[in-house]
Amino acid sequence: MKKLMYLAAALLVAACGPKVGKTTRVTGQFGDEVPETVRILVGESVDTTVAVTDGRFSVEIPTNLQELAYVQTDFTPVSFIADGSTITVDPIEGTAVSSNKKGPQSRYAAYDAWMRTFMTEYRSKMAGFGDDEDAAAEYFEQILPDFNEYQKETVRANGDNILGVMALMQLMDDDPEELKSLLTSFSDEMRANPMVAQMIGALSSMSATAVGAPFVDFAVIQDPENAEASTVKLSDYVGNGKYVLVDFWASWCGPCREEMPTLKKVYETYAGDRFDMLSIAVADELEDTLKAAEEIGIPWNQIVNAQRVPLELYGIDAIPHIILFGPDGTILKRGLRGAAIGEAVAEALGE
């Protein structure tokens, strides 16, 4: 996997291709099953229906590097970047090939292929570990550096188009200085992208809640129909004399659920007079959170229905996000995953 990563990264940083044109030609051909039309979408700027004649379609659309474009048919939608080249779409295979072999669309296709290969191997490996949580955690820690490095290289090579934003969203590295460096890769146009603007805001919040800073309190109304009785604060659990491990999660988040066995093991090992844990459900439906928590069997304290409040305050752009607070509420560690969770707690407790 490592050799594959560096090869792909090398391709991503290859020299730029021809000057980007103002329009992008999108063509495609069907086999036996031929629809009457296809639909082309590019954010809110393009939504057009194109006739299919003799199994083929062709259309010119404005070049747009800031948003993903889609060809919608009766088959799975095909995504691409309208990068000013001629893009040939195969609706059956789900591919989009650009005439510019070094342009944004070609890089996006390479990135998509890398991610698919990576995730297929990852899921296969994780399934093979079965109930061996330690082996699964060790494998995750082993592959994480390569995964993050690939995302970083992709961001640096695509600061002028949506692929850079996509890679940034996949990155599992919460180092503020690293993120600040990556954000300087983006062009002025891409900095106006809502996701990039949100990341810039999150980085400011992350700097204010970096390791060594005091915790930032917030209140959550867990049940809107009983606001007064259901309102809780982070300070009800943090800053009261115990080390507290806080897991920001959601019921719909697969990686969050995958982390639960590790969290349970940490809780069973260390919970007591000096250590406690808290789960905070964010960006989730209340009913879904309660159902998932019951299915998982979460034995530690919980705050539900927090929505986006803690995400914005702590600069969290991806979950699960796990923070270890000291007895006085000082942030000791953040962005913990896998085996690093238990190691951080053991270190803090001196065990």
Q: Which residues are the active-site residues?
A: 253, 256
For the chain, count helices (H), then strands (E).
12, 15
What type of residue is 323?
A: I
Q: How far is the C-alpha of 16 from the C-alpha of 12, rounded, in Å?
A: 10
Nearest to 94, CA basis, from 63, 116, 65: 116
Q: How far is the C-alpha of 258 from the C-alpha of 320, rounded, in Å?
A: 10
The alpha carbon of residue 298 and the mean position of all alpha carbons in its chain are separated, in whole angstroms, by 24
> How many Cβ atoms sit within 10 Å of the Cβ of residue 102?
15
Contacts of 289 (CB under 8 A, 6+ apart): 250, 251, 281, 304, 305
Residue 322, token pair as written in the block:
């796990």
DSSP H or E segment with residue 245: strand 243-249
The DSSP line for 254-270 is HHHHHHHHHHHHHHHHH
Q: Where are the beta strands (DSSP E) in 306-350?
A: 321-325, 331-334
